[in-house]
Amino acid sequence: MRRDAATAGPVLALVESARIQFHLARRYPMMIVLNVVQPLALLAIVLQRTDNGPRALGELLISVLLTCYWGNIIWTAGGVLRRDRMSGTLARTLLNAQDGRLIIVGRCLGAMVTSLVTLAITSAAVLMVAQRPVELPGPAWLAMGFAGVAISGTALGLLLATALLHSRHGVEITAALMYPVFVFGGLLVPPEAVPAALRWLSWLISLSWARDFMVHADWLAGLGLILTTAAYVAIGARLFQRTLDLARKEGTLDLV
């Protein structure tokens, strides 16, 4: 018999939240845009170059995956609470028997894993149709890299989902957050293609470290991924507490 998530342990609450988000994500139209349409468009552009060897193609593929994954972080995970507010279920998400952070983390994790799996399927299908040989990093590097990316995306999801509650223009802000990382994140556009004074911006983006970790098998980049993710967690948790204070103590933020 399944125990009620409210009275059960944190692990069950986390799993149930992830499961709920998985079901919600399937009905979210942006999922198709971000995980099928956008990777198809970007792959159509980068596959124009036919002189790429299997290794270079593998690097491009990982860059496309991570670029599209950024879109998933901001729209799918970052929009978790914004959509809850629209549906009138925000207060139930944030204020229940379990810590609200746990619920959001579970839901962001569900969204991120769903996105990664869908993106991988789309990319594999495109490469099969294009019949281009591709050489990917070893399975251990890929497994560690994508596990790190899922955790980092979840941490960023907590941060963005909470931050976007503070504005009524969440959709416009989310749309504006997309391309700064596309350009300055060091993913598809190499850092040397942007002005030297702005290259440091990619250091703030965990996906940039994750790319270097997987593509160059660089442990130092792995450390960068861990540090940026830890920073997202710390800022996200602090912002969450501040948001709850505004809603419950100071009464200046609507939860419905």
- The b/e string for 207-218 (b: 16+ C-beta within 10 A; e otherwise) is bbbbbbbbbeee
Cα–Cα distance for residue pair 253/165, rounded to 1 Å: 9
User: CB 248 → another protein: shortest distance, Å?
Assistant: 28
**Binding of another protein by 230 (CB under 8 A):** no
The correct pick among 8, 20, 189, 231 for binding another protein (CB under 8 A) is: 189
Interface pattern 166-185 for another protein (x via CB under 8 A):
---x--xx-xx-xxx-xx--
How many CB atoms sit inside 10 A of residue 19's CB?
14
Structure tokens at 207: 């996906």
Q: Report the phi/psi class of residue 131: left, alpha or beta, with left for phi > 0 and alpha for psi in -120 to 50.
A: left
The correct pick among 7, 11, 26, 37 for binding another protein (CB under 8 A) is: 37
Which CB, 178 or 237, lies closer to another protein?
Answer: 178
**Binding of another protein by 46 (CB under 8 A):** yes
Rg of the Cα trace of the chain?
19
> Tokens 């746990």 identify what position?
102
The correct pick among 8, 12, 30, 91 for binding another protein (CB under 8 A) is: 30
Q: Tell me which residues touch another protein (CB under 8 A).
A: 29-30, 32-33, 37-38, 40-42, 44-46, 48-49, 169, 172-173, 175-176, 178-180, 182-183, 188-190, 193-194
